[in-house]
C-alpha cells in the first residue's frame, strides 16, 4: 500500500482507498466467490419460486435478473466499511488527513467495479438458465452494460452514504436495508424498466417514456454524489 502523506492530492487519496478495498477483497477471496455463489443460487431458486413456466415470460425473466442484483447489492453495501472500521484503517485514513470526499469516491468506485465483476458472470448464468432467446439477447446486451454501470453508480453512491450514516448505529443490519431500499428504489425501477423495454418480446404500452427513466438513472447518482461531497465532513467523523 502506498504511503499516506498529509499533502497527498485528492486523486491519489481516492486511488489509495480504491486499491486498499480491492486488495482486501483479494486477500479474502472467499467474499467475491461467496457473493457470486450466492447470486447463482438465487438464479437457480427464482424459477422455482415463480414457477418454471412463468419464468419464460420476458417481463418476469428481466425482473428476476434485477431482483438477484438487489440481493447482491444489499450483501455488498451492507459491509462496505466493515473491514476498515474493524481494523481501524478508517481512523488512520482520517488521522492521516485523507480527503473525506476522496475516501467516499474511492469506495463508490470500488463498489461499482466490484458489483460489475459479480454481475458479468451472473449475466452469463442468467442467459443460460433463463433461456434468453437470441433475438432478445442481441437487443438487450448493448443496453445492459451502460445500464449496469449506471445502476451500480447510483446504488454504490447511495450505499456508501448510508453505510457511513449507519456505521455508529447498533442495529446496522436492520437499518441499512430499511434506509437503502426506499432510496434506491428509483434506480432499480429505472434499470428494470429500461432493460424490459429493450426486449422485443415485451409489448410496450402507449405513452411509455424511456427518456425519463434514463434521466432518473443518471440524475440519482449525480444528486447523491453531490450530496456526498457536501456532507463528507459530517459523514466521516473521527
Which of 34, 51, 88, 182 is the binder for another protein (CB under 8 A)?
182
* 113 is a contact residue toward another protein (CB under 8 A): no
Instruction: Give the list of residues 6+ apart from residue 208 with CB closer than 8 angstroms, or none.
Output: 197
Q: How far apart are CA 97 and CA 86, in angstroms?
A: 19
* 73 is a contact residue toward another protein (CB under 8 A): no
Quick one: 104 or 118, whose CB is closer to another protein?
104
* 169 is a contact residue toward another protein (CB under 8 A): yes
* 128 is a contact residue toward another protein (CB under 8 A): no
CB of 100 to another protein, least distance (A): 13
CA-wise closest residue to 114 among 168, 64, 159, 172: 159
* 165 is a contact residue toward another protein (CB under 8 A): yes
Quick one: 47 or 228, whose CB is closer to another protein?
228
Which of 187, 192, 224, 225 is the binder for another protein (CB under 8 A)?
224
Which of 3, 168, 203, 238 is the binder for another protein (CB under 8 A)?
168
Which of 16, 93, 102, 179 is the binder for another protein (CB under 8 A)?
179
* 82 is a contact residue toward another protein (CB under 8 A): no
Determine the Cα angle at 76 with ends 120 and 71, to 5°. 70
Number of residues that bind another protein (CB under 8 A): 29
* 171 is a contact residue toward another protein (CB under 8 A): yes
* 204 is a contact residue toward another protein (CB under 8 A): no
CB 163 within 8 A of CB 81: yes
Contacts with another protein by CB under 8 A lie at 161, 165-166, 168-171, 174-175, 178-179, 181-183, 185-186, 205, 207-209, 212, 215, 223-224, 227, 231, 234-235, 237
Amino acid at each position: 500500500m502506498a504511503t499516506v502523506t498529509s499533502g497527498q492530492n485528492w486523486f491519489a487519496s481516492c486511488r489509495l482507498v480504491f486499491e486498499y478495498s480491492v486488495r482486501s477483497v483479494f486477500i479474502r477471496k472467499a467474499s467475491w466467490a461467496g457473493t457470486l455463489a450466492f447470486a447463482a443460487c438465487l438464479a437457480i431458486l427464482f424459477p422455482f419460486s415463480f414457477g418454471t413456466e412463468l419464468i419464460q415470460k420476458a417481463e418476469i425473466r428481466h425482473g428476476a435478473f434485477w431482483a438477484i442484483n438487489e440481493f447482491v447489492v444489499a450483501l455488498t453495501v451492507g459491509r462496505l466499511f466493515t473491514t476498515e472500521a474493524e481494523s481501524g484503517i478508517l481512523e488512520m485514513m482520517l488521522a492521516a488527513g485523507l480527503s473525506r470526499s476522496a475516501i467516499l469516491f474511492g469506495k463508490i468506485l470500488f463498489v461499482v467495479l466490484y458489483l460489475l465483476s459479480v454481475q458479468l458472470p451472473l449475466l452469463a448464468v442468467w442467459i443460460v438458465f433463463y433461456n434468453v432467446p437470441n433475438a432478445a439477447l442481441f437487443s438487450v446486451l448493448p443496453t445492459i452494460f451502460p445500464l449496469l454501470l449506471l445502476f451500480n453508480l447510483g446504488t454504490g453512491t447511495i450505499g456508501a452514504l448510508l453505510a457511513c450514516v449507519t456505521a455508529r448505529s447498533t442495529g446496522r443490519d436492520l437499518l441499512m436495508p430499511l434506509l437503502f431500499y426506499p432510496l434506491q428504489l428509483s434506480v432499480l425501477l429505472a434499470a428494470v424498466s429500461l432493460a424490459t423495454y429493450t426486449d422485443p418480446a415485451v409489448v410496450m404500452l402507449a405513452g411509455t417514456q424511456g427518456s425519463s427513466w434514463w434521466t432518473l438513472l443518471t440524475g440519482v447518482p449525480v444528486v447523491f454524489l453531490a450530496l456526498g461531497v457536501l456532507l463528507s465532513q459530517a459523514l466521516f467523523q473521527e
